[in-house]
Amino acid sequence: MAESVELPGRLGILPFRNKVLLPGAIIRIRCTSPSSVKLVEQELWQREEKGLIGILPVRDAAETAAAVVPMLSQGVGSDSGERSTRVQVGTSDSQRLDVKNQQENIQWHPRGVAARALHLSRGVEKPSGRVTYTVILEGLCRFSVQELSTRGTYYTARISPLEMTKTEMEQVEQDPDFITLSRQFKATAMELISVLEQKQKTGGRTKVLLETVPVHKLADIFVASFEISFEEQLSMLDSVDLKVRLSKATEIVDRHLQSIRVAEKITQKVEGQLSKSQKEFLLRQQMRAIKEELGDNDDDEDDVAALERKMQSAGMPSNIWKHAQRELRRLKKMQPQQPGYNSSRVYLELLADLPWQNASEELELDLKAAKEHLDSDHYGLVKVKQRIIEYLAVRKLKPDARGPVLCFVGPPGVGKTSLASSIAAALGRKFVRISLGGVKDEADIRGHRRTYIGSMPGRLIEGLKRVAVCNPVMLLDEIDKTGVDVRGDPASALLEVLDPEQNRTFNDHYLNVPFDLSKVVFVATANRVQPIPPPLLDRMEVIELPGYTPEEKLKIAMRHLIPRVLDQHGLSSEFLQIPEDMVKLVIQRYTREAGVRNLERNLAALARAAAVRVAEQEQAVPLSKDVHQLGSPLLENRLADADGGEVEMEVIPMSVNNHEISNTFRIASPLVVDEAMLEKVLGPPRFDDKETAERVASPGVSVGLVWTTFGGEVQFVEATAMVGNGELHLTGQLGDVIKESAQIALTWVRARAADLKLAASEDISILEGRDIHIHFPAGAVPKDGPSAGVTLVTALVSLFSQRRVRADTAMTGEITLRGLVLPVGGVKDK
Ligand code: ADP
């Protein structure tokens, strides 16, 4: 690169359209137009020494309109035989010239760059024979155009150099501003070079340039190598002042540097992602190949992926999630045929299914609505309902209150379950019932450890999985029926469940990770309080539901049961009416229970029969098939044969909705249940008053009241005497307590024989020469308890005195040896 160039006063001009050649830049151009070919021929090719030409940027006038910066306008002139153009910088008042060979106006830039040809080659186009040149040009230095003229077909210009002289340069180099600027530029340029070198991993040849080339030239060289806009190129060309040039160049280089950095960052990111996913892809491919080789099924993998997705969305706490992931990794390594694969899978499915966080949204508790709801579902039970409302009120004021667990105690069918489900409805929570009846194994509550074959989670976890929310109302049904046995004590596991301090981390053996039960609202039911272990009872608040009187049953039947039963059978009162009298008869003759479950069953039997009858009236019966199959005479026989009270409730499936019959059949008058129909459908009365009267017709029989898990029952006691030697025989599956009661009763009667006028005098034993036999009928049913005391005494007195006992009175009560009758409990239950 030449240090300084001697510029001639006039230069042949090659126009560069919308492009700038900067000093220090090297370009290759192909000249094909006649004017440029002529220029190259005359100014370069035919010269002995290497010639110079001027490169002058031009701009399409159309493009610029009120163009930028000073441009040259052409005027018409004549100078020494050449058409000349006076150059008027920055003005446009002179006439415009339509340049020959060019259709459009062009605007010349007033400054250009002198260029030297480094290489020239000449070519001839084949068919036309046209000559073309390929030139490699190097930009040398700036000049400004004084005057533009045409020589033949190309332009020439009178020029003056713009670069500084040596002395000027030296002066500028002393300028502190210039020094800072050049340092700044060099630093930026250096940075750019290192970035580029790093990228291309090339040696530091460019760095040498920085040290050897003067900084003002470097500025041009750097800018020339970037792709920048035409305007920016022009302004660089116009920066004759070195300070301006340097600051402009620094700005452009810096911009370039930044854009490289940003681009690099983006590619790095993309590459990073790509390589990770590519790696995974490769690994998967390999795994697939291995599995194929082993003949494994591919579907399983998708299953596992689905399981993983499910696990991710289960919302497990972080420690459990870690545990689950560990298990999942194990599963992924296993083959489906491998032992343990399935159990591991089932286990993970359970983890994924459990409601770790999923909760039903709790509604704002509306006590009034809750009360209405309870009232509309349940007749009577005023105190119980009041207690439930109190319970709800506490929950409303303190939602996380850890009040005692409610435990409804009472015989079957008194509405314990339905009250619990009403609580759930009032709280706006889901309801789940867990039956504890007959649970003797602790594992039923707590699950089996996974080491056992066929191990399962306990009923609680199972129930939570079923409801799929972590805050349901959970009914622990028949909590009194759990028993201790060799397999552990379920009650102690329940203790943990019901203890608010412990149930936050309930540990199911199968699950093997703690599960938080603290959001569950527990409600329990039991038939009796006594079998419930005291510690468990301590955690609960017992609410007794003693059972209903016949009057209450009647009301419940009329208000709740009949409408429900009719609805369940697709009937309405238009089709079947069960008058109050008949309900009373059903209660008296067909049921003997504390609750209303059998009553409901019997009513359902009536409804079924009525449904058949209604259907029979129309032959085209569009009922579902199941009803067709029950041919009506057959049904009636069946119903008549069946023991009315025991008929299991069957809900006849309706094809569309419950009111289908109503819509299909229009019958003249409703079917009214009468006694005949009762007998036909429910069979002969199971219980009636005559029976008691008949049974106590002879002396020695008395009527007792006993309590069973199914409510109160009438219990007969029969005593008889025969020849013997004073022994007492007892039969009827009696427990120790009741046997002792019999002893006590006999002793008491013997001691009081004279007072009761059973014996003539105190010296005569009433057992003289005879044995006594006491029997409790229904001999197959085990009986126990002390409360048969008074009944036994009555039976014995009746036997010895040969007087009959009243048929309409039943007795209950424990008697002591001295004849005291202890206070009786649960009369209503009995
Ligand atoms: P339990 O759980 O005590 O064995 P359920 O709650 O299953 O009894 O009740 C049996 C049936 O009797 C249910 O259909 C219930 O709605 C009904 N029932 C019980 N008590 C009443 C009542 N007081 N009012 C209305 N229906 C009642």
* Mean pLDDT, range 502-531, rounded to an integer: 88
At 726 the three-state DSSP class reads coil
Q: How far is the CA of 615 from the centre of ligand 1 (A)?
A: 30
Q: How confident is the model at residue 86 (pLDDT cuts 50, 70, 90)?
A: very low
Which atom of ligand 1 has the smallest separation from the CA of 559?
A: 25
| Binding site feature residues | 410-417
Q: How far is the CA of 392 from the centre of ligand 1 (A)?
A: 20
Looking at the chain, the whole-number percentage of residues with pLDDT higher than 70 is 81
Could you confirm whether 830 is annotated as catalytic? yes
Q: How far is the CA of 650 from the centre of ligand 1 (A)?
A: 17
Q: Whose CA is nearest to atom 9 of ligand 1?
A: 415
- Inter-CA distances, 64 with 98, 108, 109, 518, Å: 17, 12, 12, 79
Q: How far is the CA of 415 from the centre of ligand 1 (A)?
A: 3
Q: Is 237 in the pocket of ligand 1 (CB under 6 A)?
A: no
Q: How far is the CA of 674 from the centre of ligand 1 (A)?
A: 26
CB atoms within 10 A of CB 195: 15
Read off the pLDDT of residues 417-458 as tens digits, 9 standing for 90 and up. Answer: 999 998 888 888 899 999 888 787 888 888 888 888 788 898
Largest CA distance in the chain: 180
Q: Whose CA is nearest to atom 22 of ligand 1?
A: 378
| Binding site feature residues for ATP | 410-417
CB 223 within 8 A of CB 249: yes
Q: Whose CA is nearest to atom 5 of ligand 1?
A: 415
Q: Is 488 in the pocket of ligand 1 (CB under 6 A)?
A: no
- Inter-CA distances, 79 with 10, 13, 43, 575, Å: 13, 17, 20, 126
Phi and psi torsions of 84, nearest 5°: -115, 160
Read off the pLDDT of residues 547-590 as tens digits, 9 standing for 90 and up. Answer: 888 888 999 999 999 999 988 888 888 888 888 888 988 888 88
Q: Is 647 in the pocket of ligand 1 (CB under 6 A)?
A: no
Which atom of ligand 1 has the smallest separation from the CA of 564?
A: 14
* Separation between Cα atoms, residue 669 and residue 755, nearest integer Å: 67
Residue 58 is inside which H or E element, if any?
A: strand 52-60
At 765 the three-state DSSP class reads coil
CB 349 within 8 A of CB 461: no
By most ligand atoms within 8 Å of CB, the mutation choice from 385, 418, 549 for ligand 1 is: 418
The sign of the dihedral angle between the CA atoms of 503, 509, 513, 519 is: negative
Answer with the residue of higher pLDDT: 81 or 553: 553
Q: How far apart are the first and last CA of the chain?
A: 123
By most ligand atoms within 8 Å of CB, the mutation choice from 555, 596, 710 for ligand 1 is: 596
Q: Residue 379 corresponds to which tokens in the numbers above?
A: 């007749």
**Which neighbouring-strand residues pair with 821?**
815
Can you give the pLDDT at residue 251? 92
Read off the pLDDT of residues 594-640 as tens digits, 9 standing for 90 and up. Answer: 889 889 999 999 998 888 877 776 544 444 444 444 444 444 444 44
CB 434 within 8 A of CB 444: no
Q: Is 415 in the pocket of ligand 1 (CB under 6 A)?
A: yes
Answer with the residue of higher pLDDT: 154 or 787: 154
- Please give the mean pLDDT across all residues of the chain: 79
Can you give the pLDDT at residue 827? 63
Q: Whose CA is nearest to atom 13 of ligand 1?
A: 415
Q: How far is the CA of 563 from the centre of ligand 1 (A)?
A: 14
- Inter-CA distances, 691 with 175, 257, 589, 687, 791, Å: 134, 111, 11, 7, 18
Query: Model-level pTM greater than 0.75?
Result: no
Can you give the pLDDT at residue 813? 85
Q: Is 414 in the pocket of ligand 1 (CB under 6 A)?
A: yes
Which atom of ligand 1 has the smallest separation from the CA of 545?
A: 3
* Mean pLDDT, range 739-754, rounded to an integer: 86
Q: How far is the CA of 687 from the centre of ligand 1 (A)?
A: 23
Q: Is 596 in the pocket of ligand 1 (CB under 6 A)?
A: yes
Q: How confident is the model at residue 750 (pLDDT cuts 50, 70, 90)?
A: confident
* Mean pLDDT, range 688-710, rounded to an integer: 71
Read off the pLDDT of residues 666-678 as tens digits, 9 standing for 90 and up. Answer: 555 778 888 888 8
Q: Is 378 in the pocket of ligand 1 (CB under 6 A)?
A: yes
Can you give the pLDDT at residue 461? 92
Q: Is 556 in the pocket of ligand 1 (CB under 6 A)?
A: yes
Q: Which of 84, 422, 787, 798 is catalytic?
A: 787
Q: Is 750 in the pocket of ligand 1 (CB under 6 A)?
A: no
* Mean pLDDT, range 232-252, rounded to an integer: 90
Looking at the chain, the whole-number percentage of residues with pLDDT higher than 90 is 11
